[in-house]
Amino acid sequence: MKVAVVGATGMVGEVMLKVLAERNFPVTELLVVASERSVGKKLTFQGKEHTLIGLETAVAAKPDIAIFSAGGDTSLEWAPKFAAVGTTVIDNSSAWRMDPTKKLVVPEINAGELTKEDKIIANPNCSTIQMVLALSSLHKTYKMKRVVVSTYQSVSGTGVKAVQQLENEIAGIQGEMAYPYPIGKNALPHCDVFLDNGYTKEEMKLAKEPQKIFNDKTFSVTATAVRIPTAGGHSESVNVEFENDFELSEVRRLLNETPGIVVQDNTDTNTYPMPIYAHGKDDVFVGRIRRDETQSNTLNMWIVADNLRKGAATNAVQIAEYLVQNQLV
């Protein structure tokens, strides 16, 4: 199994390599791919030194799987070139997510839709992944009508420059700014760029991607995405209205039985999900489960996950695992 990691030196790329090693993915040959300025540098994977190569060299090597985390422009240009030589691309950017010819996959929900013909597979947005995983069994059982989500997203979702800005501010150092304002001791209601409708791209991803993943446009999602001064882990306050009523005990049972979900919900012991505890873990944590007392058939939940792992790298590797296990590559 020849595997290429495109964007291997970035924040998500580094986590992808870590997750591949941790999960003992059957890599027989690893290609670590980066921008031209990094070509020739070395990195270590499972105790072995690898030399970073460029995209053209990687395409010529015809890997079985290429996992991309190199930005939308790179994906738009290069994913088709890999696909043309028979490589299956799993892309972490937003480039292909809403393309009607490409699958948008969270393995626990819709990996069964994948076939050998799917040569470019899209990895959803980090905030989308944790939300849909928590909602999947509830949607099947009670049928969602409307979801209102507010996110509290860590600076790692923006990248290395943003993490450095936060660290500089904590240390009292003047440095390069990833955001238009300080992030320390602050909250920015501004994730990604603003669109003509007044929402950000991040908010519209949360609105559109769940419908595609569930293959269902009968429910709607409205979002407000906020950047907060945490180094890692995204949190979400989710209010979901269902067509059918529910019992809270049954909701907790369904969540407990959902693969990849951990319920942390005991107010007597102050047990609830927090990004500090989600760090480095692959699970999605759900708590503060309670009925919305202002409206019938409506539930409130608090959902937390490590955005670099299940929100990006782990989900991509799980897609690759599914492809291998089902002989789709």
Q: How far apart are CA 83 and CA 77, in angstroms?
A: 11
Q: How far apart are CA 168 and CA 229, in angstroms?
A: 12
Catalytic residue among 50, 126, 139, 191: 126
For residue 1, the tally of other CB atoms under 10 A from its CB is 15
Compute the CA torsion angle 177, 180, 186, 188 (nearest 10 deg): -130
Q: Is 271 helix (H, G, I), strand (E, B) or coil?
A: strand
Q: How far apart are CA 305 and CA 286, in angstroms?
A: 9
Three-state secondary structure readout of 162-182? HHHHHHHHHHCCCCCCCCCCC
The token duo for 321 is 């695992």
C-beta separation of 8 from 32 below 8 A = yes
- Residue 281's contacts (CB-CB under 8 Å, 6 or more residues apart) are 306, 309
C-beta separation of 79 from 20 below 8 A = no
Q: Is 91 helix (H, G, I), strand (E, B) or coil?
A: strand
Which uninterrupted H or E stretch holds 67?
Answer: strand 65-68
Catalytic residue among 190, 191, 234, 279: 234
279 is catalytic: no
C-beta separation of 132 from 219 below 8 A = no
C-beta separation of 93 from 72 below 8 A = yes
126 is catalytic: yes
Q: List active site positions.
A: 126, 234
